[in-house]
């Protein structure tokens, strides 16, 4: 995830793995329809896929956008921040690797 503070002060979030409810519903519906065609229940399976996919798309597993915006408020205009999600056991190792670049661990 990249948090960028524009020269005009606006905070922009660039997340590579965030999916929306609509994207999840379309993907789930497609998979459900294909599975339903194989099983002989295309409409029911498609509806179940839409519901399941929409639910998964609504579930945000990363850092909350409000927290990313809060971090962005600390940036000077025209600067950016790279956020990495790492397993708790790897925090020390990642901190050591990022130390020469001014990287510091922050709780999500």
pLDDT (tens digit per residue) in 64-102: 788 888 888 988 999 898 887 788 888 888 888 888 888
Place of tokens 């056991």: 89
Lowest mean pLDDT among 13-17, 51-55, 85-89: 51-55
Average pLDDT for residues 47-56, to the nearest whole number? 64
Mean pLDDT score of the chain:
75
Lowest mean pLDDT among 22-31, 55-64, 88-97, 98-107: 55-64
| 33, 46 Cβ separation under 8 angstroms | yes
Strand ranges across the sheet with 80-82: 11-14, 2-5, 80-82
Return d(Cα 55, Cα 26) in angstroms, integer.
11
């Amino acid at each position: 995830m990249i948090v960028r503070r524009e020269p005009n002060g606006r905070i922009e979030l660039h997340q590579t793995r965030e999916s929306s409810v609509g994207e999840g519903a379309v993907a789930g519906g497609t998979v459900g329809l294909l599975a339903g065609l194989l099983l002989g229940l295309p409409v029911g399976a498609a509806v179940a896929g839409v519901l399941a996919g929409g639910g998964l798309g609504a579930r945000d597993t990363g850092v909350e956008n409000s927290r990313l915006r809060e971090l962005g408020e600390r940036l000077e205009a025209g600067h950016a921040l790279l956020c990495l999600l790492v397993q708790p056991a790897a925090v020390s190792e990642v901190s050591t690797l990022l130390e020469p670049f001014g990287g510091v661990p922050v709780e999500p």
